[in-house]
Amino acid sequence: MNVLVADDDQTSRQVLNAILTGEHYTVTEVDNGLAALETLQSATEAFVALIDWEMPGMEGTEVCRRVRELSNSQPIHLILLTARDSKSDIVQGLRTGANDYIVKPFNRTELLARVSIGAQMVGLQRSLTQHIAELEDALKKVKQLGGLLPICSYCKKIRDDSNYWQQVELYVMHHSDAQFSHSICPSCYESIVKPEMARLGVDVSDPVAH
């Protein structure tokens, strides 16, 4: 899991980096709000982001607000880091789009627990996005079989979008995951197969012949 550490204090970044890399997270460091926003804007992978509230260029709360306005499809879990601990500050931070809030000085165990929860949430979001994409793809395939299909009144072939006539089973197999196994319906057996067998001298009254 990728973790962004955005803090203008070098010592804080070093401490966070050491803690997180020790737990096998991939850490990206930036020292200002604008760099944090740019990193998350261009993200091609999911992120858990630890965002300091007070930074040059752009405050952490503004970074959170801007990130939530992005059309980026990658899930991002935002955790605000700050020495502000009043209820009003916490509410303000969460209202700007942060998922969580950690007060400095932080406890190592608590920090890792919250980052772990963030990583799990991001993983669930990513999995959900993948499942939705698969369902949309399946729905497209189903819709391809909808609408008006030109079919020959004699041979029952279907005309596709390229104006090519093909057997019904070939058309359906090409536009879906359906597979066909051929058999003979009772009506065709009585009207076609049975007379043909009789013509060939096969005793159609014998159950084995059926």
For 118-162, write each residue's pLDDT tens digit: 999 998 888 887 888 777 777 776 655 555 667 777 777 777 767
**pLDDT value at position 26?**
95
**pLDDT value at position 192?**
82
79-86 long-range contacts (CB < 8 A, ≥24 apart) are: 79/48, 79/49, 79/50, 79/51, 79/114, 79/115, 79/118, 80/51, 80/52, 80/53, 81/7, 81/12, 81/50, 81/51, 81/52, 81/53, 81/106, 82/52, 82/53, 82/54, 84/53
User: Omega into 186 within 30° of 0, i.e. cis?
Assistant: no
Provide the token pair at 190.
């009585």
Provide the token pair at 127.
């999995």
pTM of the predicted model, to two decimals?
0.64
- Which among 100, 103, 67 has a CA at the least distance from the CA of 84? 103
The domains located in the chain, with CATH, are 2-138 (3.40.50.2300), 158-209 (no CATH)
**pLDDT value at position 200?**
79
**pLDDT value at position 116?**
95
**pLDDT value at position 209?**
44
- Which among 129, 133, 126 has a CA at the least distance from the CA of 1? 126
| Mean pLDDT for back-to-back runs of 10 residues, the chain (210 residues) | 95 95 95 95 92 94 93 86 88 92 92 94 85 76 62 74 73 69 79 81 59
Provide the token pair at 12.
């804080």
